[in-house]
Amino acid sequence: MQRQPLSRYALAAVMAGAGLSHFVVPRYYERIVPRALGHEHLLVQASGVAEIGCATLLANRRTTRIGGWATVVLLLAVFPANVQMALDGGVADASFPANSAAASWARLPLQVPLIWWAATIARAGAPSSSVLSGRR
- Per-residue pLDDT tens for 45-99? 999 999 999 999 999 999 999 999 999 999 999 999 999 999 999 888 888 888 8
127 DSSP 8-state letter: P
At residue 99, what is the residue type? Answer: N
What number of residues does the chain have?
136
For residue 30, pLDDT beyond 90: yes
Percent of the chain with pLDDT over 90: 74
Residue 92, pLDDT score? 83
CB 61 within 8 A of CB 84: no
In 1-96 the beta strands, taken as DSSP E runs, fall at: none
Q: Which residues contact 120 (CB under 8 A, 6 or more apart)?
A: 7, 68
C-alpha 23/C-alpha 64 separation (Å) is: 25
Q: Collapsing DSSP states into helix, strand and coil, what is residue 42?
A: helix
pTM of the model: 0.85
Q: Between the CA of residue 124 and those of 8, 29, 119, what are the distances in Å?
A: 10, 31, 9
Q: Kindly provide the b/e burial profile for residues 101-117, where b requires at least 16 CB atoms within 10 angstroms of the residue's own CB.
A: eeebbebeeeeeeebeb
Taking residues 112-122, what's their average pLDDT? 95
